[in-house]
Structure 1
Amino acid sequence: MNKSSDQANRRETQTGISDRSARRLTIKILRHNPQDPASDPRFERYQLDEAPGMTLFIALNRIRDEQAPSLQFDFVCRAGICGSCGMLINGRPGLACRTLTNKLDPEITLAPLPVFKLIGDLSVDTGAWARQMGEKLETWVHQHKEPDIDRLEERMEPERAEEIHELDRCIECGCCIAACGTARMRKDFVGAAGINKLSRFRLDPRDERSDEDFYELIGNDDGVFGCMALLGCNDVCPKELPLQTQLAFMRRKMAKFG
């Protein structure tokens, strides 16, 4: 056995994918440049051989390097942390960097996340939405007194800190918003990401806002009472955050106050 065959066999053992039986993938991508008046939305097909351990992020980079230099999509970390590579994968919101091609059929359809402003092809502006949502919900710690930066940080019970950390794992990828039926009908709806973010500050003992203050922010149809409870957000969250629980928690608190 030669050296290359031995290496291929080792890769096959480690990944479960044989180089000799690599699938031929067909990836359909919705292409459109809204800045170009001559551009019409259309699907374009690209073919490439599947490699061991290939993710959609790797596949898209190969397509851009070898076939479509103008292809637009976003990425930063490649580790499911930045949330930049959110897109519709066979109609379902997900992260390209965390989606293995061997978990999908040989023909894969990719499209940009709905609701958000389209930049081009698979790239959307989730940052503008997140900033608008943050300003609307005032997602920062509110205190009545001026903070003393020379004081030691206030103590917090470990259990409470863990609860807050759990909600802080949101990467604002936009998947929950893209899966939300209410967000498609109501442009000012804060969505699961917004409700989760505000729930985090309600748990924070350093935030001195009352339930009356929170009610003013989300006690309406753009907040907790506008949700149709289809819970698509909970199904697609790549970080598996308890979005359903936080929605129910905040809705109960706001209903009780209202």
Structure 2
Amino acid sequence: MIPLLRRRPTAGQPRRLTLSILRCNPADPASVPHLQDYALDEADGMTLFIALNDIRAHQDGSLQFDFVCRAGICGSCAMLINGRPGLACRTLTRDLGDHITLAPLPYFELIGDLSVNTGKWMRGTSERLQTWIHSTTPVDLDALEARMEPAEAEAIYELDRCIECGCCIAGCGTAQMREGFVGAVGLNKIARFRLDPRDQRSDADFYELIGDDDGVFGCMSLLGCHDLCPKQLPLQTQIAFLRRKMAALGLR
């Protein structure tokens, strides 16, 4: 069992929280989506992740939600928090009201309750966009890796900080209307590999993958991905850059 945060004594009574959680088990034909309320006392420094574990440990062991790292790195605990995509492990209950509504991320396949299969979508997108280093140079496993300029490495690292949590997709109006849209996470992957000097693909090769309405020209620039990214990645900046670069190359 995951150790829960101990409640520290305070001068007054701890705040009483009510979490309304959307429950549904798609594997059970008789399961009907419904909100179920859970009440618990707030602890100092409590996050939604801690609150959910408290509920599962002491009130309802059947509650489904995902977690791995508890540090905002894995992206597993992404969910709708009062209608807004976010990470449960990085959301403090003290920043929310007494009544908190939680629901699974939209768009992704539902596993149960707050658990969705983002990995299936992310893998499909990676295969579709071929997000791996393409090189015709034979690989010598005994050779030292080629040096990279610090500025190049820093630019690649900035985009590599994506944790594939799905928040940008869940908050994207285009993704809700166009099933094939690769979203900000897919376009961010293309931007990352385009910067990598080890990848020998041309600009035309990259833009052939995203030069349609399912790629950079499908984005309506509503800034949902930019506003909701928990890692604060420059997603709209990258999308705008890819558009300008494609136009300059006469690819649109």
The TM-score, its normalising length taken from structure 2, stands at 0.94
Match among 31, 38, 45 for residue 46 of structure 1? 38
Q: How many angstroms apart in 2 are the aligned matches of 1:36 and 1:143?
A: 47
The residue that corresponds to 1:180 in the other structure is 172
Q: How many Å separate the matches in 1 of 2:211 and 2:241?
A: 13
SS at structure 2 position matched to 1:20: coil
- Are 1:26 and 2:18 matched, yes or no? yes
What RMSD in Å do the two structures reach over aligned CA positions? 1.4
Residue 57 (structure 2) aligned to one of 52, 58, 65: 65
Amino acid at match of 2:187: I
Unaligned runs of 5+ in 1: 1-7, 13-17
1:154 shift after superposition: 0.6
Match of 2:242 among 244, 247, 250: 250
In the alignment, the residues of structure 1 paired with residue 157 and residue 184 of structure 2 have an alpha-carbon distance, to the nearest angstrom, of 17
Q: Which amino acid aligns with 2:123?
A: R
Aligned residues: 245
Structure 1 residues 256, 105: CA separation in 2 closer, same or farther (over 3 Å shift)? same
- Match of residue 161 from structure 1: 153
The residue number in structure 1 matching 2:114 is 122
1:1-258 to 2 correspondences below 5 Å: 18=10, 20-257=12-249, 258=251
SS of residue paired to 1:115: coil
Amino acid at match of 1:46: Y
SS in 2 for 1:21: coil
Contact persistence 1:19–1:52 (CA under 8 A): no
Percent identity reads: 70
Shift of 1:65: 1.1
Distance 1:148 1:138 in 2: 22
Which whole-Å CA distance do the structure 1 matches of 2:28 and 2:11 have between them? 41
1:149 alignment partner AA: L
User: For the Cα contact (< 8 Å) 1:19–1:51, is it kept in 2?
Assistant: no
